[in-house]
Structure 1
Amino acid sequence: MSLYVLEGLRPWVIQRVSAVYIVLFILYATYCFFSADNIAFEPWKNWFYNPFNTTVVGIFVLALLFHAWIGMRDVVLDYVHNIMLRIFILAMLVGVLIGSGLWVFRILLLSVVG
């Protein structure tokens, strides 16, 4: 089997695994939201202080960023035919995703450090 045959398999698997994790996280967050005694700032801030919750939110953000990158990359590669425009759009997308990821991890770090 040629390596070119498996070229699209890795993004496909990452897309599916990240989608499953995103759904599981949304179910977990929904359960935590509806089972909370008090829906206010302090209880949710304390929810983030829990290392388990901070970890699952961090993994959720990574999964969301990978999922968004693969999906948008495939759309751009399929529908933008001008090479220079394609490179520009992909570079902008990478910048937005990296910036968003760093911003979220800054927020998570500040929630843990206090």
Structure 2
Amino acid sequence: MVNSVTDLGRNGIQDWLILRITAILIMLYIFYILGFILISGKLTYDTWHNFFSLTFTKVFTLLTLFAVLLHGWIGIWQVLTDYIKYIALRLIGQVVIVIFLLACATYGTLIVWSV
């Protein structure tokens, strides 16, 4: 069995399971937001502010953000490992993407908890 330098010890079953769990979480968040929009009637700044001031909404939003980033990382990782055969180029791409995803996670956390 050949081990890739960039696989981080995961296997296909773990990736499949993570993708399914994150997809379910993203779907539940979409239903949560759509339910709020349908129930709240007229949306104003105060309505949105009060909604996103709830601790549950903040935590759910942050979990969903991390789920989106993890879901995206696995997808990008699979594309990179399938189509970029040069290990050095693949590692550079992965490092750039990881830095971008960490920046998104940091910035998203600051946005969610600053409300």
TM-score (norm 1): 0.87
Which amino acid in structure 1 is aligned with residue 84 of structure 2? V
1: distance between equivalents of 2:11 and 2:38?
Answer: 42
Displacement after TM superposition at 1:41 (Å): 1.5
2: distance between equivalents of 1:88 and 1:49?
Answer: 39
Matched, 1:12 2:12: no
Displacement after TM superposition at 1:61 (Å): 0.6
- After TM superposition, what 4+ stretches of structure 1 lie above 4 angstroms from structure 2? none
Matched, 1:81 2:85: yes
1: distance between equivalents of 2:66 and 2:84?
Answer: 26
Q: 2:72 aligns with which of 43, 68, 72?
A: 68
Residues 22-58 of structure 1 show CA distances to partners (whole Å, capped at 9, x for unaligned) of 1111111111112213212111011011111111111
How many residues of Structure 1 are paired with residues of Structure 2 in the alignment?
A: 107
1:96-111 alignment to 2 at 5 Å?
96-111=100-115
Identity %: 26
TM-score (norm 2): 0.87
2: distance between equivalents of 1:40 and 1:100?
Answer: 27
2: distance between equivalents of 1:85 and 1:96?
Answer: 17
Displacement after TM superposition at 1:82 (Å): 1.5
Q: 1:49 aligns with which of 49, 53, 59?
A: 53
2: distance between equivalents of 1:97 and 1:41?
Answer: 29
- Give the secondary structure class of the aligned counterpart of 1:104: helix
